[in-house]
Amino acid sequence: MDSTEIWKFITAALACTISLSKIGIPSVIAIYKSNYLMALLSSCVGAVFGTIVFTYLFAGILKWWDNVKEGMFSSKHPKKIFTKFNRRVIRIKHRFGLTGIAILTPIFLSIPIGAFLAERFYKDKKKVIIYLSVSAIAWCFVLYFIYLFFYDTFKAWLT
């Protein structure tokens, strides 16, 4: 493996750390064109790497923010206000849970948003990372099989 292949892999993996459906998969397909194994491998590695990085990053940010809020309101505890948005978020959390967040994250949300939501509601980092990673890998396979199916179909139509 030469240096250009290594940089291709790193670029493709980094594209998948943010969002699989909007940035990652199209970038990986453009980079690797017909090397499906490397495209699939780099997208899975990037998605799992993004899941781990963003889960720990948001855990640290949320812990810091809780400490800041505690310092600001240490003498008086503000009363919790349940707004319509808060009720909707709690209803979604109870209805879909971590599994729902994990399924929606790679394709409809982005990996950072999904990691933030999962870390905010579920503090078990190992469980969050496993759920989000398995979902991202499954979506990588699904998106590549869809791509391969349509690529062959469109190629047949054009010739």
- Give the whole-angstrom CA distance, residue 65 versus residue 154: 50
Q: Tens digit of pLDDT for each residue in 136-152? A: 999 999 988 888 788 77
Mean pLDDT of the chain: 84
Contact 100, 43 (CB under 8 A): no
Q: Which of 38-42, 75-79, 98-102, 142-146 has the lowest mean pLDDT?
A: 75-79
Q: Give me the residue spans of the domains in the chain.
A: 3-158
CA angle at 137 for the pair 134 and 143, rounded to the nearest 5°: 135
